[in-house]
Amino acid sequence: MQKVNMDTPYTPIDCGYYDLIEATIMRRRAVILRYEDVNGHTTEETVRLLDTLVENGIEYVMLPEDRRLRMDRILSMDGQLRPGGGEACGRESA
């Protein structure tokens, strides 16, 4: 998987995986989230996903403590790997 930093152009995630993120938010349950942090290190934490946000064409998932994570930095959620990039699925920038 390509290393992603804040200067890397955003790659929209697979529509089905976006739907999985939204369903997880609705269920209000914690998940084991593996992602690449801003320094390029793989991080794993058990966390509750709070909301989604699209800003300037970049999709984010909102996390506790006012954190947000670019969705293309997610590696897996509860062991389910994020598929390669997809189309923006009609999600609009806020």
Q: How confident is the model at residue 53 (pLDDT cuts 50, 70, 90)?
A: very high
Q: 61: exposed, middle or buried (C-beta count within 10 Å: 0-12, 13-18, 19+)?
A: buried
Q: Could you tell me if residue 40 is left (phi over 0), alpha (psi between -120 and 50 degrees) or otherwise beta?
A: left
Proportion of the chain above pLDDT 70, given as a percent: 82
Whole-number pLDDT of residue 30:
97
Angle at CA 42, nearest 5°, toward 52 and 68? 20
Instruction: List, in sequence order, every residue forming a beta bridge with 67; answer none if it has no partner.
Output: 63
Confidence of residue 4 (pLDDT cuts 50, 70, 90): very low
pLDDT at 92: 59
Element (H, E) at 81: strand 80-81
Question: Does residue 3 register a pLDDT over 50?
Answer: no
Question: Mean pLDDT over all residues of the chain?
Answer: 88
Kindly list the structural domains of the chain, giving each domain's residue range(s) and its CATH number in brackets, ordered by start.
Answer: 15-81 (2.30.30)
